Every structure is written in C-alpha cells, then in structure tokens.
Amino acid sequence: MTTAADTRSSNDQLVITRLFDAPRDLMFRMWTDVRHAMHWWGPQDYPAVQMEMDVRPGGKWRHCLRATADGRELWHHGEFREVIALERLVFTFAWEEDGERGQETLVIVTFTDENGKTRMTFHHAPFQSIGERDGHTEGWSSAFDRLGDALQRSMTP
C-alpha cells in the first residue's frame, strides 16, 4: 500500500518518491526477484509478460510488456551498474526501438526505512524530450500503483 507520493521533474529527468507501507527487505525483493516483479512491473495497460534479470553489477535485464488492448509488445533492457542490498539499485534502461526511445537512460532507486515503512526514491534520466519524460512519468506512476497493490497482497495472510 502506498501512503504518500511525490513526483518532481525537470526537462530531462523524472523523480518519483513514494512511501510504501512495507518493510524495506520486501521492497527490495519486489524489485530484484522476478517472481515478485512480474506482479507489478509495467503500467496497468502494459503489464510485464516476460522477464529476465541477473541482479548484480554488470548483470543484464530484459523485460517484455504487452498491451492489454491489442497485444502489442514493448521490449526494454539494461544492465545493473550498482546493487546494494536493501539500499540502492542503479541500472541502465533502453527501449528496443529506434530513435529517441531507444536511447539509453539511467535509473537510480533508493530505499530508506521509515518506522517500518519504506521510502522509495526513483530517479530516471536523461530524457531527450519532455514528451518522452511525461510518457515515462505516466508509465512508472501506474507501475508503482501496481507495486503498492502487489505489496499489500504479499503482506495479507
């Protein structure tokens, strides 16, 4: 469950901060264990249908999102640059498309304990256009709504 959210952006970057009512170790597993990530990765209308992750510095990841409306598939991939258990993930992100969307960006996710809850700060940059940034704002926000729901389900006996 998400208890608070904040989204800030400049022309070339996106920052989303959310406080989740879940312990930090579970939040970290939601990001790094495919069995958990499959339940929330991707926006509501483009959920993940296939994932591969080698969560270690230098390890690769690749995911496929599929449109619920028409079955269109969107592939994206990257490489983990930094993995500090329970604290921080840094990875590259690129859509498998030509042009602006195919350019590599960097994602930094930090996890901070706040009285048994977890403050997640998500930073994604640089974007080549405001339109691309805004599209990612919408997509990640929807995915993080789904993350909150998945956390709540995983903590319900």
What tens digit of pLDDT does each residue of 106-129 get? 999 999 999 999 999 999 999 988
pLDDT over 60 (residue 16): yes
pLDDT for the residue numbered 1: 46
Going 82 to 56 to 142 to 95, the CA torsion angle's sign is positive
Q: Mean of the pLDDT values across residues 69-92?
A: 97
> Does 86 or 8 have the greater pLDDT score?
86
Short-list 138, 59, 41, 58, CA closest to 50: 41
Please state, rounded to an integer, the average pLDDT across all residues of the chain. 92
Residue 142 in contact with residue 135, Cβ under 8 Å?
A: no
pTM of the model: 0.90
> What is the pairing mode between strands 48-53 and 73-84?
unpaired
